[in-house]
Amino acid sequence: MKQITIHIPENKYPFFMELLKGFENLTVEEDDLDFSEKHKNIVRQRMEASNEDPSRLMHWDKAKQQLRFD
C-alpha cells in the first residue's frame, strides 16, 4: 500500500474531502496539526530564552548519553 501527504488550502478542504469519499477502497486519515496560540507562545518564549542564554541548551550527543531506557 502507498501513502501520500497532500497539503490542501483551507478553503478547498471541504470539497476535497467530499471528492475523496467517492473513491472505494480508500482510507483517509486526517492529521490536525493546529496548535493553540497558548502552546505556540510557550514554544516562542523558550526559543527566545535559549537565544538569550545558549548555556540553557545541551548538545544532542550529550543528551542521548543521559537518557536511560529501562
Q: Structure pTM?
A: 0.46
**Calpha distance 30→21 (Å, rounded):** 13
pLDDT at 55: 93
Q: How many domains does the chain have?
A: 1
Is residue 17 assigned to a domain?
no
Is residue 51 assigned to a domain?
yes
Residues 12-47 have pLDDT tens digits of 989 998 898 888 888 887 777 778 889 999 999 999
Least confident of 33-37, 57-61, 62-66: 33-37
**Calpha distance 14→30 (Å, rounded):** 12
Is residue 23 assigned to a domain?
no
Domain membership of residue 68 as a residue range: 35-70
Is residue 28 assigned to a domain?
no
